[in-house]
Amino acid sequence: MKYVITDTCYWIGLMDSTDQHHQKSLLIQELIKDTRIVFPFPCFYEIITTNFAKPKNKHKLLAFENLLKNSNVEYIDDTIYKDKALFNVYELNKKSFISHSLVDAVIREMLSDINLKPDFLVTYNVKDFIDICLKRRIEILNE
């Protein structure tokens, strides 16, 4: 079975009908429905803290929980990736005009891991991942 790593923006677009990526996320949901969906655990921090933790969004949080319970989602622990990701965020910001969020840095570490063999990455931030995806021959789904 093929598997796909998902970025936070996909899930936000899927769950929030007002998000600019909502329609794309719905289309991608159909494309990946028969794959193993890898959910990097740090995405929980961005999704819940940024979007669903407010009382007015309680219904989104519950819908998100139900979606994850009733799908082919596998959670990936970030323990083996987070130290190097944090180091890379500091170093990248010191040495260049490019910057990544810590969550993106963890996903980049996952994409670099030769033991993980994702076929696809779902993200709308292609520039943050294109280099590693080209190197590892991972197809980016973004439309």
Nearest to 6 by CA among 115, 87, 111: 111
Model-wide pTM > 0.85: yes
pLDDT by residue for the chain (143 residues), tens digit each?
A: 898 999 999 999 998 889 999 999 999 999 998 999 988 888 888 888 877 777 888 888 888 888 888 778 888 888 899 888 888 888 877 776 666 788 898 999 999 998 888 999 999 999 999 999 999 999 999 98
Identify the CA nearest to 58 among candidates 68, 69, 48: 48
Q: What is the per-residue pLDDT for 26? A: 96
CA angle, 45 then 15 then 21, to 5°: 100
For 103-122, give the DSSP string.
Answer: HHHHHHHHHH-TT---SEEE
